[in-house]
Structure 1
Amino acid sequence: MGILKSARRKPQPPQNDSETLSFAAEIPVGENQPLWKIELQMHSEPQADGERVRLRAHLQTNLGSALRPALQAGKAQTPRHEALPHEEAKPARGLRLAQRTGAAVQELSRRALEVPLLRRLAEPLLQLDFNTWIEIQASTASLDAGASSLLPQSERLAALGIRPRAAGEQPLTETWAGETPDGVAQLSVLQLDRRHLPAQLLKLLGDRPFGLAATVVNTVQKKR
């Protein structure tokens, strides 16, 4: 499993004047999934009379599918990884640091589990994987429906029977939660329009419109 941090700026063709920036980092442990991983992507592009920015993030903590198998395998070992392409092989120091961090976490966890009380408290957590997906879209374009038109993956939400209300005089936050076949999931939605911003931000915006919509999805999965 190739593990490393990466940050890449991907300018798009000049005719559409858009740009994408991505970043990823993870801490390896054992031979399966990484113990911890984060992926970020930001994309900006012109939109009508303004600009649209989209930020996506995925954070995962794999206690059940990574740390538990590594502890069951015994002594902490430096994870093996696939060879990295030449252009990604430069930050070797960051890779070694991630490997050492993963091995240290594994060894500290093993020692902690030798304490009976800590083991009883930790065993339920060591069956779980945690994931968080965040998507934020903001725009300074004139939008008839305001922040509602920026709501990420609105069609997919509608297919699940989730139809967020339009923001009123106050910022709108809504949350849904339920069970899944292997755990639980929670969805939260935030909508902000220009009228919801504090005076300091309105001054910076000037006469430009503003809208922001965000979704946050949290899942907890039980691993067998």
Structure 2
Amino acid sequence: MAIVNRRAKAKVAAPLPAETENFAFAAEIPVGEREPLWKLQLQVHSTPQADGEHTRLRAHLQTNLGSALRPALARSAPDVAALPRPDPSSATSARALRLAERAGHAAQNLAQRALRVPVLRRLAEPLLQLDFNTWIEIQASTASLDRGSHSLLPQAERLHTLGIRPRRAGDEPLAETWAGEAPDGYAQVSVLQIDKRHLPERLLRLLGNRPFGLAATIVNTVQQKKAQGH
């Protein structure tokens, strides 16, 4: 048994470097005490691979007209007291929140003024029933991959459960889109696949002999929100 163990250890490759690079960012514009009017979350994670590097970017963008702006407009004035207060020991947090509050109040006041115009109100009322969400996930790699960018498709298993089976990219970059009804709204799914052979000459020179692949999945949803009390 000892010989078997020694042979097994000899075949195990040295572990990859554990060094990773992470970046996270979040911002929002509050309106009243409900959901924020606008919110952005961004994460980037980069880690070494056997002969290259893998980078993943995830982003989520929310625009809550139905669940945030419409209830706020139902009140006569912006509800400043309902907004979360910053830690007084953090001057940076206090300045950031004050800036977000001013942006939220400005958006609310601008919307209230616009809705006093009958034509604008008729155009805006359908939009004020909706929330918009966009999820973006991008994966890129400079490592050798047997299936190229197709190996990097984000959320591939989840796409398959929805009946979405993207094709592999050919001589040109591949972009595909699916759309349909979703609970209380509408959903759209798009995928993009780019391999090294699709890049312009300038980028090819920068990459040299390194492989390259990139795949992205973008999901957009529009959800109708019922008025409070319905």
Q: Indicate whether the TM-score tops 0.5.
A: yes
State the alpha-carbon separation in 1 of the partners of residues 161 and 114 from structure 2.
Answer: 45
The corresponding residue for 2:3 is none
Compute the displacement of 1:85 (Å): 5.6
Asked if 1:98 corresponds to 2:100, the answer is yes
What SS is found at the alignment partner of 2:74? Answer: helix
In structure 2, the partner of 1:162 is 164
Secondary structure in structure 2 of the residue aligned to 1:97: helix
TM-score for the superposition, normalised by structure 1? 0.90
Number of equivalences: 211
Q: Distance in 2 between matches of 1:87 and 1:201?
A: 47
Q: Which one of 105, 109, 112 corresponds to residue 110 of structure 1?
A: 112
For the pair shown, the structure with the greater C-alpha radius of gyration is 2
Please state how far the C-alpha of 1:79 moved relative to its aligned partner: 5.5
The aligned runs of 1:16-55 (5 Å cut-off) are 16-55=18-57
Hey, what's the Cα distance between the residues in 1 that align with 2:174 and 2:149? 10
Equivalent-residue separation in structure 2 for 1:85 and 1:137 (angstroms): 36
Q: C-alpha offsets along residues 101-154 of structure 1, whole Å, 9 cap, x if unaligned?
A: 101111111111111111111000000000000000000000000000000010
Q: Residue 78 of structure 1 contacts residue 100 of structure 1 at CA under 8 Å; is this kept in 2?
A: no
User: Which protein is richer in helix relative to its size?
Assistant: 2
Secondary structure of the equivalent of 2:149? Answer: helix
Provide the alpha-carbon RMSD of the alignment.
1.6
Structure having the higher strand fraction is 1
Q: Which residue of 1 aligns with 2:144?
A: 142
Shift in CA distance, 53/87, structure 1 to aligned 2, threshold 3 Å? farther
Q: CA deviation at 1:37?
A: 0.5
- Taking structure 2 as the reference length, the TM-score comes to 0.88
3-state SS of 1:73 partner = coil
Contact 2:189 2:219 in 1 (8 A): yes
Q: Secondary structure at 1:109's aligned position in 2?
A: helix
Identity %: 68
Contact 1:79 1:99 in 2 (8 A): no
Look up the equivalent residue of 1:161 and give its one-letter code: G
Extract unaligned runs of 5+ from structure 2.
Answer: 1-15
Structure 2 counterpart of 1:80: 82
| Cα 1:81–1:15 shift into 2, 3 Å | farther
**Cα distance change, pair 79–208 in 1 and its aligned pair in 2 (3 A):** farther
